Amino acid sequence: MEMTLDIAVETSSTSRIAEVDFNNIQFGRVFSDHQFIVDFDGEHWINPRVVPYGKIAMSPAISAIHYGQSIFEGMKAFKDKEGNPQLFRPLDNWKRLNRSAQRMGMQEIPEEFFMEGLRALLTVDSDWIPTSAGSALYLRPCMFATDDFIGVRPSSTYTFVIFSCPVGAYYSQPLKVKAETHYIRAAEGGTGNAKCAGNYGSVMLPTRIAQEEGFNQVMWLDADKHEMIEETGTTNLFIRIDDTLITPSTSRGTILEGITRDSVLTLAKSWNWKIEIRDIGIHELFEAYRAGTLKEVFAAGTAATIAQIEVIHYEGEEIRLGGLATWEWSHLLKNTLEQIKIGQIADDFDWMTRI
Ligand code: COI
């Protein structure tokens, strides 16, 4: 990556890093010292800058707040064996952010602002990249509409921000999920495959209900028949039946096109595993469970990495994989991905970008 933009850097006078217990971090609660900001003034992206992490002044009339013109990405930085900061598949996050921007009628961000913003932020905050197993510096690029106007129309001005959090595992235990049969997450023609704030806001209530019932997450089913498995509120889903790895197809536009999902599929293909990308119904899952052919179910996402799913609840019935699954494939995928990210094994797919 070559630096071509003129990014102003204002470093914080003191670092908060000494206050952080890197062995014991709650996901998303601890922020590195700086953030990157650039504004779109209606014509140009202007004033790219790194400033101390903190609050940003804004009008209460912005349509990000009222009408949800707000999108984000989740990505991670690691250190390789020599201690050099590196990012996992950053251009894929940039492309997906722009697909989300397009769907939401927002401004797209040019590659150089995204990539050089990351580089500038990681240059000042590289000490915040944790190195213990399973940890990373989670980066949260986000963009929101900033017109001071409450008429309903796409904003002409935007702010793009990148901030970061040192993180460990998002889920520390195998998951218990509830297949949701009342609420829906996404319908065809909607925004299910955009990483927009509304997709997360609309599932807060059903997720809270599921959590009060003892589950970690909701397993979303299709909006029409409540039958086809789609994703969880934070991850894509994989199902191993016998020796076939199945993941729901994203072709209806109701599922986020996960970068970890794609990485799992790429690894699985390279190992000659049998893969099926297709619709899979909740009833097929229960049938495979009853037949003894359901071997593993796991979640895949940037924050969650690979998280095993032990319990699936659907209308009073339960799949309990705890004692049955060997978790062989999910273990291998999780470990391989982790080792590629920290340079312990060859990066055969050119996923890592040095900054
Ligand atoms: C991610 O995995 O990066 C996500 O954005 C999911 C979640 C933390 C909202």
28 touches 9 (CB < 8 A): no
CB neighbour list of residue 39: distance below 8 Å, 6 or more residues apart = 45, 46, 47, 146, 157, 158, 159, 160
| Cα-to-centroid distance, 233 and ligand 1 (Å) | 9
pLDDT at position 176 is 98
The answer to whether the CB of 339 falls within 8 A of the CB of 70 is: no
What's the confidence (pLDDT) of residue 16? Answer: 96
Separation of alpha carbons 135 and 169, rounded Å: 7
pLDDT digits (tens, 9 = 90+) for 257-270: 999 999 999 999 99
- With 80 as the cut, is the pLDDT of residue 1 above it? no
**How far, in Å, from the CA of 13 to the mean position of ligand 1?**
31
Coil, strand or helix at 45: strand
- Tell me how far apart the alpha carbons of residues 311 and 178 are, in angstroms, rounded to a whole number: 8
Q: What is the model's pLDDT at position 179? A: 98
CB 281 within 8 Å of CB 229: yes
How confident is the model over 326-345, as a mean pLDDT?
Answer: 96
pLDDT at position 172 is 87
Spatial CA neighbour of 6 closest among 120, 125, 110 = 120
Angle separating helix axes 259-270 and 90-103, nearest 10 degrees: 130
Judge whether 8-168 and 175-341 match in fold: no
Could you read off the pLDDT of 61-120 as tens digits, one per residue? 999 999 999 999 999 999 999 999 999 999 999 999 999 999 999 999 999 999 999 999
**How does DSSP classify residue 108?**
P
Q: What percent of the chain has pLDDT over 70?
A: 99
- Over residues 270-324, the pLDDT tens digits come to 999 999 999 999 999 999 999 999 999 999 999 999 999 999 999 999 999 988 7
Q: What is the mean pLDDT of the chain?
A: 96
Which among 235, 302, 305 is the best mutation to test ligand 1's pocket, defined by most ligand atoms within 8 Å of the CB? 302
Give the integer Cα–Cα distance in Å for 128 and 19: 12
CA of 345 to the centre of ligand 1 (A): 25
Model pTM greater than 0.75?
A: yes
Name the residue of 142, 216, 234 to mutate for ligand 1: max ligand atoms within 8 A of Cβ: 234
Q: How many CA atoms lie within 13 A of 354 on its CB side?
A: 8
For the chain, the structural domain boundaries read: 8-168, 175-341
Kind of pairing between the strands at 45-52 and 8-9? parallel
* Digit-coded pLDDT (tens) for 136-195: 999 999 999 999 999 999 999 999 999 999 999 899 899 999 999 999 999 999 999 999
Which CATH fold topology does 8-168 show? D-amino Acid Aminotransferase; Chain A, domain 1 (3.30.470)
Q: Is the CB of 199 under 6 A from ligand 1?
A: no
Give percent of the chain above pLDDT 90. 95
Structure tokens at 160: 């793009």
Question: Terminal CA-to-CA distance of the chain, rounded, Å?
Answer: 7
* Bridge partners of residue 275, in order along the sequence: 245
User: Using alpha carbons only, how large is the chain's radius of gyration in Å?
Assistant: 21
pLDDT at 38 (0 to 100): 98
Which band of pLDDT confidence, cut at 50, 70 and 90, is reported for residue 3?
low
Q: What value does the mean pLDDT take over residues 327-340? A: 97
pLDDT of residue 325: 73
Closest by Cα among 165, 159, 213, 203 to 182: 203
The CATH topology of domain 175-341 is: D-amino Acid Aminotransferase; Chain A, domain 2 (3.20.10)
Specify the residue with its C-alpha closest to ligand 1, atom 4: 74
Measured from the Cβ of residue 243, the count of other Cβ atoms closer than 10 Å reads 10
Do the beta carbons of residue 180 and residue 220 sit within 8 Å? Answer: yes
Residue-level pLDDT at 117: 98
| pLDDT for residue 2 | 53
Report the nearest atom of ligand 1 relative to the CA of 27.
Answer: 8
Given a cut of 90, whether residue 4 has pLDDT beyond it is: no
The pLDDT of residue 87: 98
